[in-house]
Amino acid sequence: MKTTDVIVVGGGLIGGAIALQLARRKLRVLLLDRQATGHEASWAAAGMLTPSPETPDAIALVPLAKASLELYAEFVTEVEALSGKTTGFRREGIIQAFFLENARRELNTFVALSHGVGLAAEVMTVGEARQLEPALNPAAKAVAFLPDEGVVDNRALTRATLAAAATAGAEIRADARATAISVEGKQCRGVITTGETIAARHVVVAAGCYSAQIRGVERYAPVRPVRGQMVALRPAAFELDHAIKSERGYIVPRDDGRVLAGSTLEHAGFEKHVTPAGLRHILGAAMEIAPALADAPVIESWAGLRPDTPDHLPILGPTDLEGLLMATGHYRNGILLAPITARLISEWIAEGTVSLPAEKFSPLRFLANAATAGI
Ligand SMILES: Cc1cc2nc3c(=O)[nH]c(=O)nc-3n(C[C@H](O)[C@H](O)[C@H](O)COP(=O)(O)OP(=O)(O)OC[C@H]3O[C@@H](n4cnc5c(N)ncnc54)[C@H](O)[C@@H]3O)c2cc1C
C-alpha cells in the first residue's frame, strides 16, 4: 500500500496552496483530484481580494480575510518564483459605487462598517472616481475607494500554485477521486480512491463544494454549492485598471484587456450551466457600472459552484478523528483566503498549534447537528 505523510484531497487553489506549504516544510505530499486539477470554483471565480463584509454574516470572517490579504504579496512572490508563471496580482484598490435610491445612506453605512472592522474605505466624489476609472458611469450616486484591496487572475494563480507545489516536491495526481476516508477507531489512516487505498498520517479535505460527497467527511463539512455565473468581455473603448463593485454586480480587469463581469448567487444544485436570466442580470449590472461595455464583444461565459456552509464561514482545522483536517467551505472568499488557509493547515500539521484564533471555523461546530440528522 502506498504511504505518504499528507494526502490533500482536491486540487483547487486551496488544495494547491496547502500542498505547496507542506512540501516547503519537507513533508511528503500527495494531492488527489477527481478530474484535471484547477477546473472548479478556483477557475470560475472573479479573483477579487476584498475583505469588506458584504453582509452582517461576513463580519466574523474579516480578521481572517485581513490576515490573508496581508500574506498575499509574499504568497504570490513565492508562487511566481517557484513556478516561473505570472498571476496578474495587483493591489491598487477597488472602487465601490452606489447607484440605488438610498445611495448616500448605503455609502455611510458601508464606510462606518468598514472602519468599525479596521478596513480602509475613503469617500470619493464620482468625479474623483472617474479620474481613476473614466469608464465609471457618471450617474453613480456615491463612491468609496478601498485602497488596500486588489485582484488576481485566479485561473493563472491556481495553475501557478499547483506548478509551484510540484516544484517544491508535492506529487499531483489527476483523475483520482477520493470516495471515502479510511478510519480505524478514532484515527483517520488515509484515503480510499476508486482504485486503491492510500495510507497517510494526515488527510486534508479541500474538495470545495464536493467535500460532503466523500464518505466519512459529510458530518464535518456540510457544504453545499451556490452557483455563480460570469461573463468575459473585451472592450475596445477603454482599459480598466481597478475592479468596480456596485450593489448589483462587479467588473474586474485582467492583464490581457478582458473585463470579467459577475455574478449570481443561485441554489441550483451541482448544475453549472449559464442561463439567460443570469446573463441578463450580470450584463445589466455591468452596463450600469460602465455604460461603454454595451458595445464590447462578449467572449466567454461560464458558471462555477461556491462551497457554502450553514453559517457561511469556512471549515478549517482538525476534526475529532486523529489525522483528519478540513480546509473547505470558503464560499465567496476562497481566492482571498488561500494564503491564510495554507498557513493555518500547515501549522496544525507541522506544529500542532496555530498563530491565529481559529476556533469559530472548527469542523466540530457542526457535529451536534450531524448527530440530530443521523449522519
Ligand atoms: C462565480 C464565482 C466568483 C467568485 N469570486 C471570488 C472572488 O472574487 N474572490 C474570492 O476570494 N473568491 C471568489 N469565489 C469563491 C472561490 O472561487 C472559492 O471559494 C474557491 O475557489 C474555493 O477553492 P477550493 O480549492 O476549495 O475549491 P475548488 O476550486 O472547487 O476545488 C476543489 C477541487 O476538489 C476536487 N474534488 C472534488 N471532489 C473530489 C474528490 N472526491 N476526490 C478528489 N478531488 C475532488 C475538484 O475536482 C476540484 O478540483 C468565487 C466563486 C465563484 C463560483
Radius of gyration, alpha carbons of the chain: 21
Taking CA 177 as the corner, what is the angle to CA 310 and CA 43, rounded to the nearest 5 degrees? 65
> Which residues neighbour 276 within 8 Å (Cβ) at sequence distance 6 or greater?
none
Distance (Å, whole) CA 333 – CA 208: 12
Q: Is 333 in the pocket of ligand 1 (CB under 6 A)?
A: yes
The grid coordinates of residue 206 equal: 479541500
Going residue by residue through the chain (375 aa), what tens digit of pLDDT does each one get? 889 999 999 999 999 999 999 999 999 999 999 999 999 999 999 999 999 987 777 899 999 999 999 999 999 999 999 999 999 999 999 999 999 999 999 999 999 999 999 999 999 999 999 999 999 999 999 999 999 999 999 999 999 999 999 999 999 999 999 999 999 999 999 999 998 999 999 999 999 999 999 999 999 999 999 999 999 999 998 999 999 999 999 999 999 999 999 999 999 999 999 999 999 999 999 999 999 999 999 999 999 999 999 999 999 999 999 999 999 999 999 999 999 999 999 999 999 999 999 999 999 999 977 666 666
Q: Is 205 in the pocket of ligand 1 (CB under 6 A)?
A: no
> Which residues neighbour 63 within 8 Å (Cβ) at sequence distance 6 or greater?
356, 357
Distance 327 CA to ligand 1 centre (A): 11
Distance (Å, whole) CA 210 – CA 169: 26
Atom of ligand 1 nearest to the CA of 264: 1
Q: Is 166 in the pocket of ligand 1 (CB under 6 A)?
A: no
Note the pTM of the prediction, 2 decimals: 0.98
